[in-house]
Amino acid sequence: MKKGKRVLVVGSGGREHALAWALARAAEVERVYVAPGNGGTTWPPSPEAPDLQPRAPARSVPIRPDDIQTLIDFAREQAIDLTVVGPETPLAHGIVDAFQAAGLRIFGPTRAAARIETSKAFAKALMRACGVPTPDYAVFHRFEEARAYLRAHPGPVVVKASGLAGGKGAFVCDTTEEAEEALHRLMRERIFGEAGDTVVIEERLYGSELSMLALSDGRMVKPLLPARDHKRLMDGDRGPNTGGMGAYAPVPEVGPDAVERVVQQIMMPVLDALARQGTPFVGVLYAGLMWTASGPFVLEFNARFGDPEAQAILPLLETDGLEALEACLEGRLEDLSLRWRPGACVTVVLASPGYPGPVPEGLPISGLEDAAAQEGVLVFHAGTRREGAQLVTAGGRVLAVSAIGPDLPGAAARAYAAVERIHFEGMSFRRDIGRVPVRSL
Ligand code: AMP
Ligand code: GLY
């Protein structure tokens, strides 16, 4: 019998749990490792895997995502067939280049291609050069010049750190005073360190936000289901920006024509430009869009799966996850057909008290087995760890509770019924994920 494949997922969040789950269901996968993983990324094999259960076993391994050499050593020792990168930081550090140089198979873009995410200044220039719609902007390296620009251009703007800031580097401002304050925090207080030494000041757009993710083999893309993230902390999109408080997929108002428009007007021009520069993009290309009265505009690109979008999209994927990723690496995406379960998936993030600021750790979590036993429900762990038999909190976003249902309201009802069974002290979550009326684009 042919040996099964071993997969290593790099990262520790809900997205990585969802990736590990999807890969543990793939026909050829024998074993999944997650580095470093979390309190939920170790499970036994389940040969008879009933619906929604992973078949292959998974295990957390204590290697940090940016310890690239140790990851390479591990991949060699364990004869890993494929490594899949979850977060952006290892991509920015060149994990894909290093694995490739070591002759190891890895899913994700090279450091040069990942600049589409790791440098907003690079992404904006590329979009401008290839005519991809994105808000007007200016780039600054000096505080005084940026402040002078703000004063000369009164009105609503968004001030962004050019570098990586964990999804928290964009300040959406109503007034020039607010924008100056954001500038001060980025460039003077340097709250994100060197990530904020270059800032992008952007025209503020109004419309409906959308996450469009696509698999890319460097030459073409296959779009995943459209998803909607919820970045603000509180219901009704109020409060500070976070890493993401919930998501759903698909987005009912985004039909096949809208998806095709995003592919043709946004994804393909960027993909072609990166290929022409000699840095083809292989991996997941994620366009964070604002759909305005004059169509879709790119707010940001990411070079990876979204978190929590992955926890809402992957449960609906019917196509074998390993086959899909391998098709990208082998440049044969054209032959891949992506199939999806009917219905919708809603993901509610349960956060620690104080998130997105500093949070306590070690709070005991209860009710998970009960929640996970509900129909259509998958509980993905993010900031959790095991202390003996007890599961405790270990980060800002603690759990992502996903539920598949016949439609968006049905999926939301299941997700919130499961959330009600889970408890930890000070647990906070949004109550409006997937519960808003369908808008038009
Ligand atoms: P980013 O990190 O660039 O995706 O920005 C984070 C969040 O800020 C986005 O999800 C939007 O909600 C908001 N945002 C970013 N840029 C703009 C913009 N130009 N106009 C309005 N909202 C924006
Ligand atoms: N959900 C937003 C992100 O992953 O960047």
List, for residues 312-361, the tens digit of each pLDDT value.
Answer: 999 999 999 999 999 999 999 999 999 999 999 999 999 999 999 999 99
Over residues 393-409, the pLDDT tens digits come to: 999 999 999 999 999 99
Going from the Cα of 362 to the center of ligand 2, the distance in angstroms, rounded, reads 25
**What is residue 166's predicted lDDT score, i.e. its pLDDT?**
76
Do residues 252 and 226 lie in contact, with contact meaning Cβ atoms separated by under 8 Å? no
- Return the residue matching tokens 């290093």: 98
- Rounded Cα distance between 59 and 71, Å, is 15
Residues of the chain with pLDDT > 90: what percent? 93
Q: With the C-alpha atoms ordered 302, 308, 310, 313, is the resulting torsion angle positive or negative?
A: negative
Between the CA of 388 and the centroid of ligand 2 the distance, in Å, is: 32
What homologous superfamily does CATH list for 208-419?
ATP-grasp fold, B domain (3.30.470.20)
Provide residues with CB under 6 Å of ligand 1: 135, 158, 160, 167, 170, 172, 202, 204-205, 209, 231, 241, 288, 290, 299-300
- Regarding the beta carbon of 54 and ligand 2, being less than 6 Å apart is answered no
CATH number assigned to the domain with residue range 136-203, chosen from the 4 options 3.30.1490.20, 1.25.40.10, 3.40.50.1980, 3.30.590.10: 3.30.1490.20
Give the pLDDT confidence score for residue 2 in this predicted structure: 60
CB 10 within 8 A of CB 37: no
Nearest CA to ligand 2 atom 2: 306
| Rounded Cα gap, residues 351 and 427, in angstroms | 6
pLDDT band at 47; cut points 50, 70, 90 = confident
In this prediction, residue 9 carries a pLDDT of 99
Mind listing the pLDDT tens digit for each residue in 62-109? 999 999 999 999 999 999 999 999 999 999 999 999 999 999 999 999
Cα 167 from Cα 191, distance rounded (Å): 13
Give yes or no for residue 1 having a pLDDT over 70. no
H helix and E strand count, the chain? 14, 22
Residue 21 carries which DSSP code?
H
Read off the pLDDT of residues 206-229 as tens digits, 9 standing for 90 and up: 999 999 999 999 999 999 999 999
The tokens of 266 are what? 């946004």
**Does the reported pTM lie above 0.75?**
yes
Read off the pLDDT of each residue in 99-124 and give the average, rounded to a whole number: 96
Average pLDDT, whole number, for the chain? 96
Specify burial of residue 339 (Cβ count, 10 A radius: 0-12, 13-18, 19+): exposed
Given this model, what pLDDT does residue 51 score? 81
The strand pair at 137-140 and 344-351 is best described as unpaired
- Distance, CA 350 to ligand 1 centroid (Å)? 22
Residue with CA at minimum distance from ligand 2 atom 3: 306
Residue 163 Cβ inside 6 Å of ligand 2? The answer reads no
Q: What residues does each domain of the chain span?
A: 5-107, 136-203, 208-419
Distance 209 CA to ligand 1 centre (A): 9
Taking CA atoms only, the protein residue closest to ligand 1 atom 12 is: 231
User: May I ask the CATH class of domain 5-107?
Assistant: alpha beta
Cα-Cα-Cα-Cα dihedral sign, residues 178, 184, 189, 192: positive
